[in-house]
Structure 1
Amino acid sequence: MNSEQYTATIREKRYQDFTWIDIQNPSNEEAQGIAATHGLNPILVKDSLQAGHLPKMEQMEDGYFMILRACTQEVDKPTSINDFSNKIAFFVTKGRLITIHRAEYAFLDSNLPDMGHMDALILYIIDKMVDSFQEPLENLSSKIDDIENLIFTKKGDNLTLEQLYFFKAKARIGKKLTVLIRSVIDALKVGEGHDPQLQDIKDSLTAQYLLYDEAVEDTNGLLASYLSVTAQKSNDVMKVLTIFSAFFLPLTFVAGIYGMNFDVMPELRWQNGYFYTLGFMILICLIVFLWFKRKRFL
Structure 2
Amino acid sequence: MESKSKEIQFDDFIWIDICNPEKINLDGIAKQYNLDYFQIKDSLETGHLPKFEKQETYNFLILRAYTSNIDDRTTNVTDLSNKIAFFYSEEKVITIHRAEFEFLQNVSNNYIKSEDLLLFFIHKMLDTYNNPLKFLSDQNDEIEKTVFLKDYSKISLEDLYYQKTRTRITKKLLQITQNVINQIEVSEQSKTALQDIKDKLLSLILGYDEVLENSNNLLNTYLSVNAQKSNDVMKLLTIFSAFFLPLTFIAGIYGMNFENMPELKWDYGYFFTLGIMIVIAIIIFYWFKRKKII
Give the TM bin, normalised by the shorter chain.
over 0.9
Query: What is the identity percentage for the equivalent residue pairs of Structure 1 and Structure 2?
Result: 51
Q: Does structure 2 retain, via aligned residues, the 8 Å contact 1:62–1:94? A: no
When residues 82 and 66 of structure 1 are mapped into structure 2, their CA distance, relative to the original with a 3 A threshold, is: same
| 2:50 aligned with 1:35 | no
Which residue of structure 2 lines up, in the alignment, with residue 221 of structure 1?
Answer: 217
Which residue of structure 1 lines up, in the alignment, with residue 75 of structure 2?
Answer: 79
| 2:159 aligned with 1:159 | no
Task: After superposing the two structures, state which structure 1 stretch, 285-294 or 181-190, moved more.
Answer: 181-190
| 2:237 aligned with 1:241 | yes
When residues 248 and 154 of structure 1 are mapped into structure 2, their CA distance, relative to the original with a 3 A threshold, is: farther
Which residue of structure 2 lines up, in the alignment, with residue 293 of structure 1?
Answer: 289
Please give the secondary structure, in 2, of the residue aligned with 1:193.
Answer: helix
Question: Residue 127 of structure 1 is aligned with which of 112, 123, 133?
Answer: 123
Please give the secondary structure, in 1, of the residue aligned with 2:152.
Answer: coil
Q: Does structure 1 retain, via aligned residues, the 8 Å contact 2:10–2:109? A: no
Q: Which amino acid aligns with 1:117?
A: K
Residue 236 of structure 1 and its aligned partner are, at CA, apart by 1.1
Question: Residue 17 of structure 1 is aligned with which of 12, 16, 20?
Answer: 12
Q: Which amino acid aligns with 1:23?
A: I
Once the two structures are superposed, the pairs formed by residues 113-124 of structure 1 within 5 Å of their partners are 114-124=110-120
Deviations 1:135-168 (A, max 9, x none): 1011111112222222333622132443323222
Q: Which amino acid aligns with 2:245?
A: L
Deviations 1:105-147 (A, max 9, x none): 1111235353222122111111000010011011111112222
Q: What TM-score results when the alignment is normalised by the length of structure 1?
A: 0.92
Q: Does structure 2 retain, via aligned residues, the 8 Å contact 1:10–1:21? A: yes
Which residue of structure 2 lines up, in the alignment, with residue 52 of structure 1?
Answer: 47
Distance 1:50 1:159 in 2: 38
Q: Does structure 1 retain, via aligned residues, the 8 Å contact 2:89–2:114? A: no
- RMSD, aligned CA: 1.8
Q: Does structure 1 retain, via aligned residues, the 8 Å contact 2:60–2:88? A: yes
Distance 2:238 2:183 in 1: 65
Which residue of structure 2 lines up, in the alignment, with residue 70 of structure 1?
Answer: 65
Please give the secondary structure, in 1, of the residue aligned with 2:153.
Answer: coil
Q: Which amino acid aligns with 1:218?
A: N
Q: What TM-score results when the alignment is normalised by the length of structure 2?
A: 0.93
Question: Residue 86 of structure 2 is aligned with which of 83, 90, 108?
Answer: 90
Structure 1's unaligned 5+ residue stretches are: 1-5
Q: Which amino acid aligns with 2:281?
A: C
Distance 1:193 1:78 in 2: 40
**Total equivalences in the alignment:** 293
Question: Residue 191 of structure 1 is aligned with which of 162, 187, 197?
Answer: 187
Which residue of structure 2 lines up, in the alignment, with residue 102 of structure 1?
Answer: 98
Distance 1:117 1:60 in 2: 19
Structure 2's unaligned 5+ residue stretches are: none
